[in-house]
C-alpha cells in the first residue's frame, strides 16, 4: 500500500486523488472540530467552501459553524473551536461548516474514491478505516495561507505511524511522508509545545485561543473517522 503526503492545499491537484483514499488534516482547527462534532453526536457535518454556500445549505434545525480570520462568522451559531461542539449543542444536529483552509481541502480532494477526516484526536481510527478501504492513501495537510503547517505534518506522521502498526501490508511512503513520520516520532512527547511554537499556534495564542490548542493536542481520544458520504461527513 502506498501513502503519500501533500504539504498544503495549494499543492493539491485533483489528479493526485484518483483511485485513492484521501485523508484530510487541519489540526488547527477544522478537522479537530469536525471529529469532535461527530464524536459529540452531530448527525453529520456538511463542509461548505464559502459563507454564501453555507447559508444556502442551511435547513431548519441545522447549525451554521466556521470561521474567517479564525473568528466566528457574523450570524453563525458556532465558531471553529472544538470545545463549542458539545453533545448538548450539536447532538442530533446537522452542522454546516465553512473554514478558511480545512473545508477547502475537503473540496479539493473530491476526486478521491474515499475521503476521511483526521486529527490528532482520532488518528488511529482514521488509519484503521483507511486500511479497511484497501486503496493507496494520500494525506492532505491543509496548512495555512497556502503553506505547510507543522501541526498538520505532526498529524500526518502520526497517521503514518499508526498505519505501520496496524497494516499487514508494507506501507511505501513518499519522501515527504518519510520526513513527517520522522518529525512525529521525534516530537511525540512534545506535541503541544511543538504546535504552540508553530505559526498557526502562535496566531491562536495571540487571539486568546490557547485552550483550542490544548483541545486539539490530545492523541487518539476518539474512535470515529468521519467519512464523506455524498456531501455529508458522518461516522465511518
Q: Which residues bind ligand MLT (CB under 6 A)?
A: 26, 28-30, 67, 70, 80, 99-102
Is 30 or 35 the residue whose CB approaches ligand MLT more closely?
Answer: 30
Cross-strand pairs, 94? 44
Nearest distance, CB of residue 103 and ligand MLT, angstroms: 6
Q: Which is nearer to ligand MLT, 28 or 173 (CB)?
A: 28
- In the bound state with ligand MLT, the residue whose beta carbon lies nearer, of 104 and 128, is 104
Closest distance between ligand MLT and the C-beta of residue 80, in Å? 4
The distance of closest approach from Cβ of residue 30 to ligand MLT in the complex, given in angstroms and rounded to an integer, is 4
Shortest Cβ 71–ligand MLT spacing (Å): 8
Q: How far is the CB of 28 from ligand MLT (least distance, A)?
A: 5
CB nearer to ligand MLT: pick between 100 and 131? 100
In the complex with ligand MLT, the residue whose CB is nearer, 152 or 161, is 152
Q: Of 112 and 209, which has the nearer Cβ to ligand MLT?
A: 209
Q: Residue 109: which of 10, 13, 1 has the closest Cα?
A: 13
Pairing assessment for the beta strands 44-47 and 71-72 based on DSSP bridges: unpaired
Shortest separation between residue 26's beta carbon and ligand MLT, angstroms = 5
Tell me which residue has cell 471553529.
Answer: 80
Backbone angles phi, psi at 102, to 5 degrees: -65, -50
Amino acid at each position: 500500500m502506498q501513502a503519500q503526503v501533500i504539504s498544503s492545499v495549494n499543492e493539491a491537484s485533483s489528479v493526485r486523488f484518483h483511485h485513492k483514499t484521501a485523508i484530510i488534516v487541519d489540526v488547527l482547527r477544522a478537522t479537530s472540530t469536525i471529529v469532535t462534532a461527530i464524536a459529540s453526536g452531530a448527525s453529520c457535518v456538511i463542509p461548505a467552501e464559502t459563507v454564501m454556500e453555507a447559508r444556502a445549505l442551511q435547513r431548519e434545525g441545522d447549525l451554521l459553524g466556521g470561521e474567517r480570520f479564525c473568528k466566528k462568522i457574523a450570524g453563525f451559531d458556532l465558531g471553529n473551536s472544538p470545545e463549542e461542539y458539545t453533545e448538548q449543542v450539536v447532538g442530533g444536529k446537522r452542522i454546516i461548516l465553512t473554514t478558511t483552509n480545512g473545508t477547502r481541502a475537503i473540496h479539493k480532494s473530491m476526486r478521491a474514491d474515499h475521503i476521511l477526516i483526521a486529527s490528532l484526536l482520532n488518528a488511529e481510527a482514521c488509519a484503521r478505516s483507511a486500511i479497511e478501504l484497501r486503496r493507496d492513501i494520500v494525506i492532505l495537510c491543509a496548512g495555512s495561507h497556502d503553506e505547510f503547517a507543522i501541526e498538520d505534518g505532526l498529524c500526518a506522521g502520526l497517521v503514518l505511524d499508526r498505519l505501520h502498526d496496524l497494516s499487514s501490508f508494507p506501507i511505501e511512503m513518499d519522501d515527504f511522508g518519510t520526513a513527517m513520520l520522522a518529525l512525529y516520532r521525534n516530537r511525540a512527547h512534545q506535541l503541544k509545545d511543538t504546535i504552540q511554537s508553530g505559526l498557526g499556534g502562535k496566531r491562536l495564542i495571540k487571539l486568546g485561543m490557547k485552550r483550542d490548542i490544548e483541545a486539539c493536542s490530545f492523541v487518539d481520544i476518539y474512535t470515529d473517522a468521519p467519512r464523506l458520504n455524498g456531501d455529508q461527513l458522518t461516522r465511518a
